[in-house]
Structure 1
Amino acid sequence: MKLTAFLSARGGSAGTAGIIGAGFSRRDIDVALAACTIIRIRRGHHSLAKEATDYRAALELRGLLTCLSAAPTYGLWTLVPGQDLHLCVGHRSAPAGAVSHGRCRHPGQPWLPVAGLADVLVHAVHCLPELQALVMIQCAVGRGDISLEFVRSQLGGNRNGRARSVLELVIPRADSLLEVLANVAFQRAGLSLRRHVEIPGVGEVDFLIEECLVVETDGGSHLEPHQVKKDRRRNNASVAGGYLVLRFGYDDVVHHPERMVAEVLAVLEQRHKGAFHP
């Protein structure tokens, strides 16, 4: 493996110890530096010459990526891409344009300048809007990367009341961030619902509201031709089985939840008035 390929597989940068530990020599490093395929960020750390990643910025600033900036490393769900650099820099002040977070209490990522997952999530619930933090935590907990109880244990005391309230919105299972957000919207509207309900002839549906209305939340994969055909068959089977059906996409759930809830309430109101009865 070439040194450039090794760095590319590790986010574009690495420490000298990590490079040598992977089997490269100091001469390999010197040759790459002379050829300008890599550069020395600072003593003991090197990066691809054309790589301007958050990892490189964190190494240059002697900090660890955390919160929204660390989400891509751990593959966490996010609602919006990070615009600012979120960093743990110890007791030092963060540079202009970066968001400074408290010190890290847990081991960081082994070979990248990234805070540990527990610190990333704790920083997120203190820093981000409620729903943005929620989807990150739901993703990590749902995959089994960390337990909800452990995250809660890191948020003791009166000052963490708001942060703990975000944890109360985590559900046992969510197949997408759309399910998480829709669940919050429906619950706050006072709707009676069940999640992941198995309906004969249809299969499992995302939500069954008031025992009569099937609600599905459709991500990008539902726009693929084979999935469109499958969803059409499921819709027909639901209606044939006596259920009403509504489907909502990313834009509905993420950007217009009030409109989504209003449509659900309108259908339920029409049903209560007998609109769907013979």
Structure 2
Amino acid sequence: MDLIEYIAARGGIVRTRALREAGFSAHTIARAVAAGRATRFRRTWIAIGGVDPILAGAAKLGIVVTCITQAARLGLWTYVDPADPHVYHVAASPHAGSVAVTQSLVHWSKPLIPRDPDALEDPIENVLAIIAECQPHERALATWDSAFNKGLVDRDSFSRFALRPAARRLLAEVSPFRDSGLETFIVTRLRWLDLPIRCQVWLYGHRVDVLIGDRLVLQADGGHHVGAQRASDNAHDAILRLHGYTVIRVTYAQIMDHWPEVQELILRAIAQGLHKAA
């Protein structure tokens, strides 16, 4: 296989040592760099054009991408506080000495799974364990729910790791049935009601986000609630109402920034018995 094809098949960036072990000579590597077909980082990494800039930066600095930065790269639900000065979350070995990374939060904790020296990304187990310590419980649970929902980790195998208390608490609460972080936030914030609260319940041909009691439906609209999707959702709302359900629709901004108002709507509906079957 051609050197550039080999690097591309491995994410666009590979350690020089790994290339040599794969059979590429030092001359072949140097020739690719001299021709501009590849770039050398810190004398130990070789990258090609189009490589993820986050991975390239990690290679240059000798760090690993982890926590909510890696979770977002995996397509998991994350919340980024606009006031947080840390754009990236990365990890370094506790014995690595000083690591200065602009606009980044460096996690020094010992990982659950030892890190391969050729890795630039933490495995999902390390990512979740660090999130458990780094993020507020509610946000951490939303990301954990997302990881379990996507099947990236399972409860039995994860429980066998040496988890810290924050991670143990999350493992006890995590659910693979929540489709978005908004559902996690809603369930967590309403748990004190001591009512049945279920996510992703199938009703009359479609799933609803949250069903409170028997008849109160809470739909959390994200950015996809436009055009044909909005028309379909509105039609389903009408069907639900005809069958005796009460539907409350709220937006991402309402849940994240105006939760007391959303909760007030829900409590008033419950007080009127709208969550009960006729």
Of 221, 240, 243, the match for 1:241 = 243
Of 212, 220, 225, the match for 1:222 = 225
- The change in CA–CA distance for 1:136 and 1:175 in structure 2 (over 3 A counts) is same
Deviation at 1:239, TM superposition (A): 0.8
Q: 2:207 maps to which residue?
A: 204
Post-superposition Cα deviations, 1:144-169, rounded to whole Å, max 9, x if no partner, equal 2212233333345xxx3333222333
Deviation at 1:45, TM superposition (A): 0.9
Deviation at 1:262, TM superposition (A): 1.8
The reply on whether 1:45 has 2:45 as its aligned counterpart is yes
Q: 1:151 maps to which residue?
A: 158
Q: 1:93 maps to which residue?
A: 97
Deviation at 1:16, TM superposition (A): 2.3
Separation of aligned partners in 2, 1:69 and 1:10: 20
- The change in CA–CA distance for 1:84 and 1:25 in structure 2 (over 3 A counts) is same
After the TM superposition, which of the residue ranges 7-16 and 128-137 deviates more from structure 2?
A: 7-16
| SS at 2:111 equivalent | coil
| SS at 1:222 equivalent | coil
Q: 1:74 maps to which residue?
A: 74
Of 202, 213, 216, the match for 2:216 = 213
Separation of aligned partners in 1, 2:74 and 2:21: 23
Deviation at 1:99, TM superposition (A): 1.4
Q: Scaled by the length of structure 2, what TM-score is found?
A: 0.79
Residue identity matched to 2:182: L
The reply on whether 1:170 has 2:174 as its aligned counterpart is yes
Deviation at 1:264, TM superposition (A): 1.1
Separation of aligned partners in 1, 2:117 and 2:97: 24
Separation of aligned partners in 2, 1:2 and 1:77: 37
Separation of aligned partners in 2, 1:118 and 1:226: 38
Deviation at 1:243, TM superposition (A): 1.2
The reply on whether 1:193 has 2:200 as its aligned counterpart is no
- The change in CA–CA distance for 1:72 and 1:2 in structure 2 (over 3 A counts) is farther
Separation of aligned partners in 2, 1:191 and 1:96: 49
| SS at 1:77 equivalent | coil
Q: 1:263 maps to which residue?
A: 265
Residue identity matched to 1:204: R
Deviation at 1:87, TM superposition (A): 0.9
Count, aligned residues: 268
Of 165, 178, 195, the match for 1:161 = 165
The reply on whether 1:123 has 2:130 as its aligned counterpart is yes
Separation of aligned partners in 1, 2:209 and 2:168: 26
Residue identity matched to 2:165: G
- The change in CA–CA distance for 1:77 and 1:242 in structure 2 (over 3 A counts) is same
Separation of aligned partners in 1, 2:2 and 2:248: 53
Separation of aligned partners in 1, 2:96 and 2:20: 30
Contact 1:125 1:166 in 2 (8 A): yes
Separation of aligned partners in 2, 1:226 and 1:71: 30
- The change in CA–CA distance for 1:229 and 1:66 in structure 2 (over 3 A counts) is same
Residue identity matched to 1:220: G
Structure 2 segments unaligned to the other structure (5+ residues): none
Q: 1:103 maps to which residue?
A: 110
Identity of aligned residues (%): 27
Structure 1 segments unaligned to the other structure (5+ residues): none
- The change in CA–CA distance for 1:258 and 1:109 in structure 2 (over 3 A counts) is farther
Deviation at 1:266, TM superposition (A): 2.3
